[in-house]
């Protein structure tokens, strides 16, 4: 499909969430998981692990989120596997959110955005994670290139790790917290988009209930932290409240530990998806 005919990312994500449920499964080939699957730490094992997971899950869930770091470890061979993961997952109908957490001065940001969001890029995903800590404005090239190509970005706002709290809860000059200022900046980018805009934010499922106000965001909230980091579907309800329809809950290890049997992987993802569906019915 060419960029000209692709629907905007917000529309595509809303459709996928409605049709498949909101779950995002991470493809994170941790060394410990490779060993648990009876594999080694080499490019062939990486490929077996990642493609098994993609084949089992990419036709099931709305979003597949490969964690670039675990592929980069293997150099160019790992990147070749990542290219295949992105391509195969998209072909199976999942949206691919590549977790690369890029952030740099604007001119370099253009190169990052071209690498991951341009139509012809070997690693072109549907969306990427970006870091706003060189200033939200430095992300403008990525936000623009994403929009032109029917793709999206997810801006780190309040990350799921405990170390993020000090920096991200600090008061912004105008009294808002830093994380809230990022959510509000994303809201400005998304204003007027329907059903939602292409600028998402990352807010961990592990943060305090009501810590952020997503009322004006009009964009998706990627919520990592489900499972291995301690959050549960019930926690999501407490943390995000009325913003729950915007939330894309993410988990990696909690599904991947059920491999290498594809049926085990699928059953784990379905179990979480069903629990999330219950929440949305509440």
- 181 is a site residue for ligand LLZGTKA7 (CB under 6 A): no
CB closer to ligand LLZGTKA7, 202 vs 217: 202
216 part of the active site: no
Spot the catalytic one: 87, 101, 257, 280: 101
Rounded to the nearest whole angstrom, what is the least distance from the CB of residue 70 to ligand LLZGTKA7 in the complex?
Answer: 8
* Residue 2: exposure state from Cβ atoms within 10 A (0-12, 13-18, ≥19): exposed
200 binds ligand LLZGTKA7 (CB under 6 A): no
How near is the Cβ of 67 to ligand LLZGTKA7 at its closest, in Å? 4
Task: State the burial class of residue 253 (Cβ atoms within 10 Å of its Cβ: 0-12, 13-18, 19+).
Answer: middle
Query: For residue 173, which phi and psi values (nearest 5 degrees)?
Result: -45, -35
Alpha helices in 58-139 (DSSP H): 68-72, 75-91, 106-117
**Binder among 34, 47, 98, 99 for ligand LLZGTKA7 (CB under 6 A):** 99
**What are the structure tokens assigned to 117, written together?**
């969001």
CB atoms within 10 A of CB 80: 16
Exposed (0-12), middle (13-18) or buried (19+): which is 142, by Cβ within 10 Å? buried
Q: Which of residues 214-273 bind ligand LLZGTKA7 (CB under 6 A)?
A: 224-225, 227-229, 250-254
Write out the residues near ligand LLZGTKA7 by the rule CB under 6 A: 26, 28, 67, 99, 159-161, 202, 204, 224-225, 227-229, 250-254
Catalytically active residues are 101
């Amino acid at each position: 499909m060419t960029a000209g005919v692709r629907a905007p990312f917000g529309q595509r994500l809303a459709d996928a969430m409605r049709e498949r449920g909101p779950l995002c499964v991470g493809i994170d080939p941790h060394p410990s998981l490779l060993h648990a699957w009876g594999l080694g730490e080499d490019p062939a094992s990486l490929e077996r692990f990642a493609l098994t997971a993609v084949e089992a899950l990419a036709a099931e869930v709305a979003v597949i989120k490969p964690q670039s770091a675990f592929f980069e470890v293997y150099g160019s061979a790992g990147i070749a596997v990542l290219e295949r993961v992105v391509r195969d997952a998209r072909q199976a109908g999942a949206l691919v959110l590549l977790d690369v957490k890029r952030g740099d001065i604007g001119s370099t940001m253009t190169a990052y955005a071209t690498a991951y969001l341009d139509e012809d890029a070997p690693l072109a995903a549907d969306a990427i994670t970006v870091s706003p800590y060189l200033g939200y404005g430095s992300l403008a090239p990525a936000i623009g290139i994403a929009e032109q190509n029917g793709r999206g970005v997810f801006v780190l706002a309040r990350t799921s790790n405990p170390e993020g709290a000090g920096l991200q809860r600090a008061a912004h000059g105008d009294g808002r917290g830093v994380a809230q200022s990022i959510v509000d900046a994303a809201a400005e980018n998304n204003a007027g988009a329907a059903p939602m805009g292409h600028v998402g934010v990352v807010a961990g499922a592990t943060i305090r209930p009501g810590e952020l106000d997503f009322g004006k965001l009009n964009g998706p909230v990627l919520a990592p932290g489900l499972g291995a980091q301690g959050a549960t579907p019930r926690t999501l309800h407490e943390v995000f409240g009325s913003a729950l329809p915007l939330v894309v809950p993410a988990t990696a290890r909690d599904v991947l530990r059920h491999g290498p049997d594809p049926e085990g992987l699928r059953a784990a993802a379905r179990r979480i998806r069903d629990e999330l569906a219950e929440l949305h019915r509440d």
